[in-house]
Amino acid sequence: MTMPATSPQLDVAGDLLALLGATTTEPRPDTQLAALTLTVAADLPVLLWGEPGIGKTAALTHLATTLDLPLTTVVASVHEPSDFSGLPIIGADPANQGVPMAPPDWAVRLVRAGRGLLFLDELSTAPPAVQAALLRLVLERRVGALRLPPGVRIVAAANPRSSAADGWELSPPLANRFVHLRWIHDHEVVVRGLGGTWPRAALPRLDPELLPEAVAFARRAVCGLLAVRPDLVHRLPTTDAARGGPWPSPRSWEMALRLTAFATAAGVSREVLSTLVRGTVGDGPGLELLASMDRMDLPDPEDLLADPATAVLPERGDLRQAVLDAVVAAVRNRPERSRWDAAWALLARAVDTGAPDLVVVPATNLATLRREDWDVPDTIERLGGAVSLSRRADQATARVAAAAGVRR
């Protein structure tokens, strides 16, 4: 039987489709793409949350192509638990040899390739039994009797339950095994992409000389925070929706530590680091970790008191306030006339180089430390006008707010 020839019009249609699919990439700052590639480099399972049609699957397909990794897509909602835990295969002598768990074909292909990107799609539509079967795959990388090789990275995608087809909340044990990234669209990226040019996904460049320093910094940051905030070590949310997202546990803090080390070695922006730590331990604990990192680099109060004339104070208002408060606390711990005078000199320098309102509270607290035999330094006269002006401004603001409340 002679097969009909392909329609010439379909050939032309194919040519048009090929032209539409021909796109290029360009280096372009993209916070969420940088967070994704850094998490992949850190070999941590990552879960992209986003509304349908936002481009999660397209981003992962582009990532696999750019990294030259074979992409294996597994739609979790259409699989049975045995597809992840393995199917029992009874041999000739099960009493002596046991019953091995045969892995699915996609796992075998990944093991043979030795590398790849395993994409678990539609995770929020997987029923609880399937989510339970995924626990070992995500954490231990085991599928039946097979263990996925180190060259395989795990990335998942999910829609919020409100927009998922027959969606479920993620179980807390499964959610706590992922780095959660909110995937949103950027108008300019979409416009450029539809025009044929998408952002280029690339693994972060790690500076070999910074690796020991990056590890030390990450450990100091995480351990320093948890030492003073032990309640943050493990905090299971109270609602089902929050339990299906990022929350702090020893496991997720370990992931946050690893991501902090990678981010430090790669020199990524603070915005990327913020996205990563908040996607690992949650918004509240993540922001506390970032604030703790900021304070790690603050100057030593004793160094500032030793040479106030050349002291360099932070530019950011909250960090400058923290430094000035630390200086006053240092004088309180060891009250001496020379240290008290040096603290006033520092406050004067803060007024000269920044917002005067930041010295109001430290100046008030420092004044209470004066001993009877300590003369009032001339510096206080320089500060008096700034402190008084700041207080009058605060009082005026309060009066305006009160008047507005009365008018309502």
Residue 129 CA to residue 279 CA, distance in Å, equals: 25
User: pLDDT tens digits, residue range 158-195?
Assistant: 888 666 556 678 889 999 999 999 988 888 888 888 88
Q: Which residues of the chain have pLDDT under 70?
A: 1-6, 88, 90-100, 161-167, 381-408
Is 144 within 8 Å of 185 (Cβ atoms)?
Answer: no
Q: Which residues contact 20 (CB under 8 A, 6 or more apart)?
A: none
First to last CA, the chain: 88
Is 351 within 8 Å of 360 (Cβ atoms)?
Answer: no
User: pLDDT tens digits, residue range 97-131?
Assistant: 666 677 888 888 999 999 999 999 888 888 888 88
Q: Can you give the pLDDT at residue 389? A: 43
Report the half-sphere exposure of 209 (CA within 13 A, side-chain side).
0
Q: Can you give the pLDDT at residue 396? A: 41
Residue 138 CA to residue 125 CA, distance in Å, equals: 17
H/E stretch holding 191 reads: helix 187-194
Is 143 within 8 Å of 105 (Cβ atoms)?
Answer: no
Domain boundaries, the chain: 28-90+99-199, 208-296, 301-407
In the chain, the amino acid numbered 167 is G
Q: Looking at 22-127, which runs of residues are DSSP E strands?
A: 24-26, 46-49, 71-75, 87-88, 101-102, 115-121
Predicted structure pTM score: 0.76
Q: Does domain 28-90+99-199 have CATH number 3.40.50.300?
A: yes
**What's 134-176 look like in SS3?**
HHHHHHHCEECCEECCCEEEEEEEECCHHHCCCCCCCCHHHHC
Residue 386 CA to residue 375 CA, distance in Å, equals: 21
Q: Which residues contact 202 (CB under 8 A, 6 or more apart)?
A: 27, 37, 66
State residue 237 phi and psi, 5-degree precision: -60, 160
Is 365 within 8 Å of 330 (Cβ atoms)?
Answer: no
DSSP string, 220-281: HHHHHHHHH-GGGS----SSHHHHTS----HHHHHHHHHHHHHHHHHT--HHHHHHHHHHHH
